[in-house]
Every structure is written in C-alpha cells, then in structure tokens.
Structure 1
Amino acid sequence: MTASPPRRRSGRGNGKVMRILVLLTAGALALSSPAFAAGPTEGAPPPYDGDLMRLAEILGALHYLRPLCGVTSEGQRWRTEMQALIDTEQPSDARRAKIISSFNRGYSSYAEVYRACTPAARVAVERQLDEGSRLAHDIVVRYGGN
C-alpha cells in the first residue's frame, strides 16, 4: 500500500487557524486549572513563560499579517486571542506589560518589513501559524496538568 501525498489545504490556512484556536482555548483552560491556581513562587515566572511570550509575539505577527494578506473576515481575532490569554493568566502588572510588549513586538517587526502581501509574507503567515500551533500544543501537553 502506498501512502498518498499529504493534501494541501486550499485557501488561507483555515485548518491551521482552527487548530491553533482550539489549542489556545485548551491551553487557556489548562492554565486556569487548580494546578495553576496557586501560581508560581512569588516573583518567579511560570515554567512556560518563554513559550507564552513567544506565542504572544506570534499572535501579534498574525494580527498584522493576516489582514495584510487579505484575510479580513477574522477582524480582531488575534488580538482577542491575546486578550483571552491575558485574562486567563491574570498576570501581575509587570508580567502583563511583558506579555503585551511581546505581542506588540510581533506586530511591529512585521509591519516594518511588509507593507504589502508578498509571497514571503504568505510564507511568514504559514510559519507563524505552524509555530503558534506547536507552541500552544506543547504548553498544553507539558503544563496543562491532567
């Protein structure tokens, strides 16, 4: 039996978008579980902090790139996902500022480079979706409890 080649999804990565949204939702639920309710030791960042900061940066990049490349139906989806992460985390003011800074860095770094949707911008979107999906999955698997 020969394996058939993987099917490429047509459109603008909607399957990846849905996968990352499901993982983000699952991650938010996992991070709000009783295991996380006590939080880390005072002043110590949680063990998933680096991944969360990178995920915030990716959400910022997607917030810029997706509309640039013609995906207008999402509106404020990526900003809303970012807000959901902040609401779930309930970070201190300093940590909240750090998370928001990561989101803004993701947005502005792509805004400086791409003024129009180019083939490279489309590749960047796909890479951001892939990495965001992987990070969200890893956070849930490694730190989600249960």
Structure 2
Amino acid sequence: MRAPSRLLALLLACGLVLAGPASSRAAGPTEGAAPPYDGDLMRLAEILGALHYLRPLCGVTAEAQRWRNEMQALIDTEQPSDARRAKIIASFNRGYSSYAEVYRSCTPAARVAVDRQLDEGGRLTHEIVVRYGGN
C-alpha cells in the first residue's frame, strides 16, 4: 500500500489556499455564503473520516489520529461559522461511520477502499488548490 504523503502535502496546500488572504475574508455581498469549493470540502471531510477509521484498522497505527488532526487543521484554517463547522464535522463522521458499519477487520476490500480514498482525496485537494488557489 502506498504512503499517503502526497495527500498530506496537498492537504497542507489546500489549508493554505482555503484560508486565503485576509482581504478575501472581508465583509461583502456573499458573507456567510458557502464558498464555491464547499461541496468538494464536504466530500474531502468524508474521505478523512473514512481514512481515520480504515488506516488504523489496516495496521497503520502511526496514523491513529493523523486524519482527524488533518480535518481539525482544515477546520482551523477555514474558520467556518458554527453551522458550517457542524456540517463539516458531520461529513467527517459520516465517512468514519459508513466504513465502521462495513469493516470490522482489514480485508482486501478495505485495503482497496483505502487506496480509493487516498486517490480521491488527493484528486479533490488538487482540484481545490488549482481552481481556487488564486483567490
């Protein structure tokens, strides 16, 4: 199984991009509205929740808190409203619980799921950075 270092690097870049310059957070006509990357961010939160469950299940004990910490870093960077924060956390929890209901041990299918989550998470993060990084 490949290491998730590329996804981690992209998450860091994503966090830096999502924060944007302070001037972009100034009050404006869309204040309080979800950013254009919100759907991708919610999916990314689900993926992080899935990885938080699956990676330790499949023996990567060094990552016991890594994916939760990555999600927390994104939340800290985003500084969402309370309602949006709850939505992000719900997405993370949905990702975690959906795999916890299916996998009780690390099976070949669980390993495939990990690889797919890492691939999709990397792709989503890259797309967010490319599309919205110039804000």
Q: What's the C-alpha RMSD, in Å, of the aligned pairs? A: 1.4
Unmatched tracts of structure 1, length 5 or more = 1-11
Which residue is 2:35 aligned to?
A: 46
List 4+ stretches of structure 1 deviating above 4 A. Answer: none
1: distance between equivalents of 2:35 and 2:49?
Answer: 21
Pair member with larger Rg: 1
TM-score, normalised via structure 2 length: 0.93
How far did residue 39 of structure 1 move?
7.1
What amino acid is the match of 1:27? C
1:93 aligns with 2:93: no
What is the Cα deviation at residue 90 of structure 1? 0.2
* TM-score with structure 1 setting the length: 0.87
Partner residue in 1 for 2:94: 105
Unmatched runs of 5 consecutive residues or more in structure 2 = none
Per the alignment, residue 139 of structure 1 pairs with 128
AA matched with 1:132: G
> Quick one: distance in 1 between partners of 2:25 and 2:72?
19
Q: Take 1:56 and 1:36, find their aligned partners in 2: how far apart are those partners? A: 23
1:42 Cα deviation (Å)?
Answer: 2.7
Structure having the higher helix fraction is: 2
